[in-house]
Chain A
Amino acid sequence: MKTLPAVDVVIVGGGWAGLLMAKELGVRTALSVVVLERGGATKTADYADDMDEVDYAIRLHMMQDASKETATLRHNHSERALPLRQFACFQPGTGVGGTGEHWAGVSPRALPDCFEILSSTTKKYGKARLPEDHSMQDWGVTYDEMEPYYAGAEAMMGISGKAGNLRGQRMEGGNIFEGWRSAEYPTPPTKIPYYPHLFREATRSLGYHPHPIPSATISQAYTNPDGVSRPGCTYCGYCERFGCMIGAKAQPSNTLLPVIERHKNVSIRTGAEVRRIVHEKTGQLGQAKGVQYRNAAGEEFFQPAALVFLSSWTLNNTRLLLLSGAGDAYDPATGKGTIGKNLTHQVTFAAAMAFFKQPLNRFMGSGAAGIRVSDLDGDLLDHSTLPFLRGGFFSAESLTSRPIGNFGIVPPSVKATWGAEWKKASVDYYDRTAKIGFSGEHLAYRGNCMDLDPTYRDHCGDPLLRLTLDWHDNERQMAKFMSAKALEMARAMGATEVSPAGELRNYDTRIYQSTHLQGGTIMGASPEQSVVNPFLQHWQFSNLFVLGGSTFPQNPAVNCTLTILALTLRSADAVVNRYLKNPGALA
């Protein structure tokens, strides 16, 4: 293994979190920064030809190559885990920009009480109401502390939306249930296509408070505080699973790379697959020394660095810490150890399908142009007499109804699944069908966790990560309750037929839910309960930071990118303003 010249900072993974940290350090310091990204380079020009459903949405051209590395999964600790042989229920990206290149752009803030879920739920309902096997915990950071960083992340991406709570003042038309915000959204809401428009009218008539989805597919041209300009969205509809061909959707490649390229102290090495965090430990405390990686030719290198940031997506962050022995692996039997605990996945499903008489023209839209209802989110419902805790939100989106993915969805009155009758109904309903989506909180449980798989290995010979994950009664009861509400909404929209969501049974790896997997290297206020402190610094290795969704103690219902970026900005502030002046523990 060849030892390379030392650098000040090495960043593992060039997605949203890693490149944002690289950009912050590049702009604000003179440190030498190397980003190691195992995938290839990315240019906006690459996306001009990507509006192809087969190669991008079905063959998953932009996603991690499962043949090289995947994860295994089982529902409980007595089952044998089997590999996810193809990615389906979540879609990790690869290459510079990572999953941030192919996201849909939905960018809400988490509700304030999500950050203090354990204390606020216990206070209101008592300890006895918590699920017996929960492992919920507070984040160690409050919404008030997060607010400036949320504003910073929104400004960086130029998020389009409408405030519902401007410095405490209720603003009709926005999300009146959101936490206070210091400023209006950087750009006005996106255009609202016909189907979300129907949803807005119907839910308003039912007494809800519909509002535009905060969107990173921006409504008009915008220049961010770094001087990066992007055009407004043209509603081509190719967002999630695709890169934006014009750069209207904020992606690391069009929002961060232009700034990084101006700073010669930051470099990005592609084809560099990090296999270990190299560290020295004396007792409980230690120091990271750098990382070991393998290049595309299979050569191994040691890259020494004074400061290491791990930002290689939820699962790989957890896996690298476990493979490197950098911290104590979680043991669900004893509750001891922290790495791998609190695996959660946003509870996302089609709460109702609505079938209409009239055409919807659903080929026009964007990943985030749509309407959302948040009245049943967080703890807005009184859960005293309900069979579940917490909630989520409903949305009517305008992701293009691409033909392969949407042909064949027929009303419940049609029983055939192929042949003449099914074909006729599929043709008739292709542009007359839409879903009401629901995304709910996923509580953390002691048994939902990750460790290294004893059987299956990656292309380098290292063990795959093993996920033990299933839905619990809280999620199932929530799904049932919310589906009934969605059916009322669908009927109020004038749907001629509606079809309810099936029951939420066992976690299903075959159906796409979202790529919002969280936990494994969670943040918190104590080293006994968490891997990183509220500044995302490893409790045991003060020069090792972990960025991304792996730090969420549980799933806060909202799509996670904005919160990941806000936490990264907060961490960058702490590193630049405090750590670099006085290296050591920040908490």
Chain B
Amino acid sequence: MKRRHFLTLSATGLGTVLVYSLDNKTFSAVAQGQPVRIPLRFLTRTEALVVAAAASRIVPSNDSGPGAHEAGVAVYIDRQLAGPYGRDRYRYTQEPFEDGVAELGYQGKATPRQIYREGLKSLGNFLHLDAAGQDLALTRIQTSFFFAMLRQHTIEGMFCDPIHGGNKNLAGWKLIGFPGPRFSNLDDVDKHFGESFRPKVTTLREMAGHTLHPSEEER
């Protein structure tokens, strides 16, 4: 069996987090000031730290609000890569793989897992760079397919439903005033013109009232 890797997140602002272990059993970890160790499913610890650091440059935590770090984006990305998406379960992967015009979309053979593995290598000693150095390293690769993927996944991890491991403590949704899924907006949809209407934020799990099975949790 391969060595088990963990991503250690600072507990600041985490509160109670739901953690999925490698065998898909869930448990709650109460942080109480202690760092939280989250078992990784695909990324190695170093890779996860680079993903987390790069995502934090894409959506930084600053005076305009929390960013990729608080939302746990790296955990989201690790789970997506470990799941069917990461191994291209739903992509047409028949050969031959040939280059075509850009409008025909990604035609490569590499799966998201392989793209990350290679792409993270290309960032070199990213963790040893200061913020400006990290920005420069990302600027150098910002036209690559890997960067486009990382940027997209960072947004996904910021604003997904928390069942997917990101948007921790609803940091992303609260940041932009998205209330999450709601059964009904019937009484409000044609009111509040010109003013912000921000109902209490709820998750899909709270709304549905039962356990849900995101697609990355293969059964």
Contact = CB atoms under 8 A, between A and B. Distances in A.
Give the interface centre of A53, A54, A66, A365 by most chain B CB atoms within 10 Å.
A54
B94 A509 contact: no
Nearest to A508: B103
Contacts of A509: 103-105
Given A361-B197, A407-B159, A420 B142 contact: no
Interface string B81-114: 0000100111111101010111111110000000
Contacts, number: 184
B64 interface: yes
A420 B192 contact: no
A365 B185 CA distance: 8
Contacts of A423: 59-60, 62, 64, 67
Contacts of A161: none
B90 A73 contact: no
A48 interface: yes
B104 A49 contact: no
Interface string B105-143: 111000000000000000000000000000100100010
B189 A191 contact: yes
9 contacts: A51-B207, A85-B93, A197-B190, A234-B183, A364-B189, A403-B178, A404-B159, A418-B142, A455-B96
Contact of B196 (A58, A418, A431): A431
Interface in B162-219: 163-164, 172-173, 175-179, 181-186, 188-190, 192-197, 204, 207-208, 212, 214-215
Given A364-B189, A506-B103, A407 B176 contact: yes
Interface in A140-185: none
A232 B184 CA distance: 11
A400 to B, nearest CB: 9
Interface in A18-64: 48-49, 51-55, 58-61
A210 to B, nearest CB: 16
A85 B92 contact: yes
Given A67-B91, A364-B185, A431 B98 contact: no
B47 interface: no
Given A52-B214, A53-B161, A75 B103 contact: yes
B33 interface: no
B176 A419 contact: no
B177 A430 contact: yes
Interface residues of A, number: 68
A55 B80 CA distance: 11
A371 to B, nearest CB: 12
A361 B196 contact: yes
Contacts of B179: 363
Interface residues of B, number: 66
Contact of A49 (B67, B183, B208): B208
A192 to B, nearest CB: 6
Given A52-B214, A75-B103, A235-B186, A418 B57 contact: yes
Contacts of B88: 67
B181 A51 contact: yes
Give the interface centre of B90, B164, B193 by most chain A CB atoms within 10 Å.
B90
Interface of B: 57-60, 62, 64-65, 67, 85, 88-94, 96, 98, 100-107, 135, 138, 142, 151, 155-156, 158-161, 163-164, 172-173, 175-179, 181-186, 188-190, 192-197, 204, 207-208, 212, 214-215
B184 A238 contact: no
A86 interface: yes
A83 B208 contact: no
Given A191-B189, A419-B58, A431-B176, A86 B208 contact: no
B64 A55 contact: no
Give the interface centre of B142, B179, B193 by most chain A CB atoms within 10 Å.
B193
Contact of A191 (B92, B151, B190): B190
Contacts of B96: 455
A85 B138 contact: no
Given A58-B156, A82-B104, A235 B185 contact: yes
A192 B193 CA distance: 11
Given A52-B163, A67-B89, A85-B91, A236 B182 contact: yes
